[in-house]
Chain A
């Protein structure tokens, strides 16, 4: 069962884009394009939440490798398109291992996502708005790992969790993993709430495994184009 949020109700193109994701017949290119456009829409919603007269924040877009060139790229590009200066838009990308439930246990205590490697641009996390962008939020395990890794010892001003689809109650699971002074900073930007999970896959969700739908054969070995291009661009700045 799906419930659309006000953001999706107000913009009739959003349910159509979500349908492209949930339709298992959508070709890879259409799926990728829909993800990127949804990233644009998430950026619009994020941008609208910031009082740009009072705040001149740095937007720190945090993503996983599979989302980097699509959802995150769409979000980041749109922020720049809305006039946020390039020096105030930063990218962090994580490659995660995904380990669910060791045998003999059924407790989600054993649901983890260790970091394999990461790309992180130079920034002051404490003065940033963190935007955790993810194609779908279900257990929150990957978001937990990446956020906890990023903000260890530091508490950012705001933490926006931006995802086209979230599973009902996933925000509670995520908040339960952080101390209250961090959890109270969470804000959610999403278009649809789903409440059905079958065999670890959300229905209708994003139409199954995002790796398969985006056409990944080995996402660990993949280096997103956005990471390649940005690190090449910032190489000189880092070297200073």
Chain B
């Protein structure tokens, strides 16, 4: 039984005062007129989703993602209510950012956000200021105001107008997106497609969704870009023994099952590809049946259907 509860307007007023609640209401109303997140927000959201999908696949631990949420720190919120965990992100795609400038300042917002999270019942509370400028992020992370030092950090998340160029220049970002791709070692462009389809799924599911729902939505939009959630052994078990025998006997043809997909090479590695459906897709059975019926003797007999 979760101990988390969302505060209503009167509780928020009692906690923070009417002025803060009025500001929250106005801000949220403005943000609700259709989701048109910036590219920076889209890519950051997609990246959070990728990391959380990896975690969900590995541990089964789901999380609720909200973008443009009702909170004060509202660009992205991750809730794991069952673990009393709350994480909120404020994004700044500009080099001019400070903890204390402005009215309210980021420090004020983070302080109020922490109070709301505590009053809601969360115990693991993390509030993050995310900057596209690495020097700015570095400076801010060394100067977190004492009033929010317990929960706040500043992070760097790079920005580029091109998802491919962004990932090409950032190994850790590429690795995080590649972890949920259908390739064991995705290139930057393949990893960028994971980012793209996750950003697309977030736009479809606005304003909030479970990580498992985001994964499903992305797979519905493009079944071939994200890995399967099932194990390699499970995937291999989907292969009909007769189908395996036929493939094993094709001269120069090799295959493996990676992240749920059938990867193949032929002509001594000159030809290569990955099926666009995973081994758990009902269409995969039809594909296997057709190959068995066809009884191929050489790669050329089946290359037209390796799609």
Contact = CB atoms under 8 A, between A and B. Distances in A.
B189 A148 contact: yes
B271 A110 contact: no
A117 B268 contact: no
Interface string A97-129: 101001111010110101111111110000000
Interface in B82-138: none
Given A109-B196, A117-B273, A149-B187, A231 B42 contact: no
Contacts of B272: 117-118, 120
Contact of A102 (B162, B204, B273): B204
A104 B207 CA distance: 13
Interface stretch (A74-82, A189-197, A232-240): A232-240
A178 B196 CA distance: 16
Contacts of A107: 39
Interface string A174-204: 0011110000000000000000000000000
A158 to B, nearest CB: 19
A169 interface: no
Contacts of A1: none
A107 B161 CA distance: 11
Size bracket of the A interface: 35 or more
Interface residues of B, number: 41
A178 B168 CA distance: 8
Nearest to A106: B36
Most buried by A among B200, B222, B252, B270: B270
A117 B263 CA distance: 10
A220 interface: yes
Contacts of B193: 112, 114
B276 interface: yes
A176 B224 contact: no
Contacts of B203: 102, 104-105
Interface string A131-171: 00000000000001100110010000000000000000000
Contacts of B252: 235
Contacts of A179: 165, 168-169
Contacts of B189: 144-145, 148-149, 152
Contact of B267 (A95, A110, A144, A238): A238
A114 B183 CA distance: 12
A50 interface: no
Contact of A99 (B39, B222, B268): B222
Contacts of A97: 224, 276
B149 to A, nearest CB: 36
A119 B271 contact: yes
Contacts of B307: 95, 116-117, 220-221
B169 A238 contact: no
Contact of A231 (B162, B204, B271, B274): B271
A223 interface: yes
Contact of B271 (A117, A152, A222): A117
A145 B225 CA distance: 14
Given A99-B222, A148-B187, A118 B165 contact: no
Contacts of B304: 221-223
Nearest to A152: B187
A119 B163 contact: no
Interface string B210-224: 000000000001101
B166 to A, nearest CB: 10
Interface in B49-106: none
Interface in B272-307: 272-274, 276, 300, 303-307
Interface of A: 95, 97, 99, 102-105, 107, 109-110, 112, 114-122, 144-145, 148-149, 152, 176-179, 220-223, 228, 231, 234-235, 238-239
Given A99-B222, A117-B274, A148-B168, 15 more contacts: A102-B204, A107-B39, A109-B196, A112-B193, A119-B270, A144-B164, A148-B188, A148-B189, A176-B161, A177-B164, A178-B164, A178-B165, A179-B168, A238-B268, A239-B268
13 contacts: A95-B307, A102-B203, A102-B204, A103-B204, A109-B196, A110-B200, A114-B193, A114-B222, A117-B274, A152-B188, A179-B168, A231-B271, A235-B267
Interface of B: 35, 39, 42, 161-165, 168-169, 187-190, 193, 196-197, 199-200, 203-204, 221-222, 224-225, 252, 267-274, 276, 300, 303-307
The 3 closest A-B pairs by CB, nearest first: A117-B273, A238-B268, A102-B200
